[in-house]
A and B are shown apart, each in its own frame.
Chain A
Amino acid sequence: MRDRTYGMLLAVPASATLLAIVVFPMLYSLHLSVVPLDLLHPGTPRHFAGLSVYAAVIADPRFISSLLHTLLFVVLTMSAELVLGLGVALLLNQSSLAGRGLFRTLLILPLMVAPVVSGLQWRWIFSDQYGVLNYLLSLLHVPAPLWLGSPASAMAAIIVANLWVATPFVLLVLLAGLQGMPDEPIEAARIDGAGWWQRLRLVVLPLLRPAIRVVLLIRLADAIRIFDIVYVLTGGGPGDATQVFSTYIFQTSYGSLDLSKGAAGSFIMVFITALISLFLARRFRAG
């Protein structure tokens, strides 16, 4: 048997499985979004509807508000992740510090924690009456807000819960980027009299572009589809104030049983993700 044929034989089971559970569902969803399925009236004949379902999604004010909440969340959380991750990575990257390994291990501990747990744990911390956060604030004589009861602070709570699980990844990638960086340019800048801030802005950050690009692209796709934390922390509330893309599609599909609208909404979401990814990938091209 030729090598190529042998290789294909090895790859057949996995490829067939992927075709069935990744490619087929994608096409099925696409079909669902243009040939609507009415689960509430079974037996209704199905017709090609063009983009009418997509139009219905875009005309839905709840979709638009979930879109705005998602974008707000994505911008705020990703900026905070980058700033915090970079700050801690710079701290950890000082070779004169002993015990850096231990600090790193402790700092990335939440790396693989289930988002559901983060949501639950922060819900307990943010609790109005029994919450430890409001108790600590009261010690400082700061008025304690009803964290999950008002739109702005509920969004803040979601961002905090997300930062806790997401930042370790950013830290890890940026730290790897810093450690793989050549010393010479930074040393040369130091000799030329560049201060700490100048070295960071003019030498370190440009060299770190590839790592930042990876972080942005991976985190963007994750942040846009946030679901678990919102579901257990606020349930989209108060009212619809923290409803995001995924919770909107979840409710439309399984609450109102409008699967076609859910599918169309999902594809709009993919389209927006792709657009932003493309923009970021170009903006942060290496060199």
Chain B
Amino acid sequence: MHTSVRNGLSYALLVVVVLLVLAPLAWLYLSSVKNDIEMYSVPPTLVPHDPSLRNYGQLLVDVSFKSGFLNSVLVALGSTAAALLLCVPAAYAFSRYLWRGLSLVLFLVLVTRMFPPVIFSLPFFIVLQKVHLINTRLGLGLVYLSFQMPLAIWLLESFFREVPKEIEEAARVDGLSRTQILLRIVIPLSLPGLAVAAIFAFLLSWNEFLYALILTRTNVAQTIPVVVSGWISIFQILWGKMTAAAGLYVLPALVFVSLVQKGMLKGLMQGGVKQ
């Protein structure tokens, strides 16, 4: 087949696939700016006649959504910070001094991937109840470390390994201590890798649903996915509020994926991120 004909066909196919992939998201956002009457009009209007941000405005005064948003942000930021703080030194140690122990980390990565979260949720549920951390952001954040940390160590170790040993040896000759080398040379040189690990850890926590559903009960600690899924009832679903909330909630994921693609693949292969 002639190259230009083949290219034309390929473009046409790709455009169709892109439209199919983006259509559900587009429909979500289009629905979120409709008013209540248009939302439930039969047949549905594809483009809203009277677009407004009313549904988003409603979210701003919705107590459960506001607290859910705050909880999601705090749990994700807190657990990510803790995971990095614990995992940066450990990953560095594995990359330089303890590379034999690395297979243990790989084992933990596999375990947390192969074992369904539901299996870990049982002991978490019982123990958090005993230590009065059930239905708290702290308790949920601690639990999130269980899947953030194996991934973070695994990712960071591979980034640290890419830092040339010669630079570190030169620094050692200049009289820097091992800790100074880590803080002043290795970490600054691995900042892109650290960012990828942080984004992954953040999104893992941000997207998590099952643990949050089991370990939180009220506005004090419930995160967005739990709050929003709680709006589903047998009798009705308020789709205006629902689509606006889902649209806002999904934004960080869309932004990160379109900005950071290079390091994404590495993270996905090593941790297998999806819930």
Q: Taking beta carbons and an 8 Å cutoff, which residues of B are in contact with A?
A: 3, 6-7, 10-11, 13-14, 17-18, 21-22, 24-25, 27-28, 31, 39-44, 46, 86-87, 89-90, 92-94, 96-98, 101, 108, 111-127, 142-143, 145-146, 149-150, 153, 178, 203, 206-207, 209-210, 213-214, 225, 228-229, 232, 237, 239, 242-243, 246, 249-250, 253-254, 256-258, 261, 264-265, 268-269, 272-275
Contacts and interface: CB of A to CB of B under 8 A. Distances in A.
B116 A270 contact: yes
A91 B12 CA distance: 11
B12 to A, nearest CB: 10
Contacts of A142: none
A284 interface: no
B206 to A, nearest CB: 7
Contacts of A88: 14, 17
Interface of A: 3-4, 6-11, 13-15, 17-18, 21-22, 24-26, 28-29, 32, 88, 91-92, 94, 96-97, 103-118, 120-125, 129-132, 135, 138, 164-166, 169, 172-173, 176, 214, 218, 221-222, 224-225, 227-228, 231-232, 245-246, 249-250, 253-254, 259, 262-263, 266-267, 269-270, 273-274, 277
B257 A7 contact: no
Nearest to B231: A120
Contact of B93 (A11, A21, A131, A253): A11
Nearest to A196: B1
Nearest to B100: A4
A28 B115 CA distance: 14
Question: Chain B at the A interface: mostly helix, strand, loop or mixed?
Answer: helix
B180 to A, nearest CB: 13
B254 to A, nearest CB: 6
Contact of B108 (A22, A92, A114): A22
A268 B32 CA distance: 42
Contacts of A13: 86, 89-90
A176 B265 contact: yes
Contact of B250 (A25, A105, A114, A122): A114
28 contacts: A4-B97, A9-B93, A13-B89, A18-B108, A21-B142, A22-B108, A22-B150, A24-B123, A28-B123, A28-B126, A32-B123, A97-B7, A97-B14, A106-B21, A108-B261, A109-B21, A109-B258, A112-B203, A112-B253, A114-B207, A117-B225, A120-B228, A124-B27, A218-B113, A221-B113, A225-B117, A227-B116, A259-B122
Contacts of A4: 97-98
Contacts of B228: 116, 120
A10 B22 contact: no
Contact of B257 (A15, A109, A130): A109
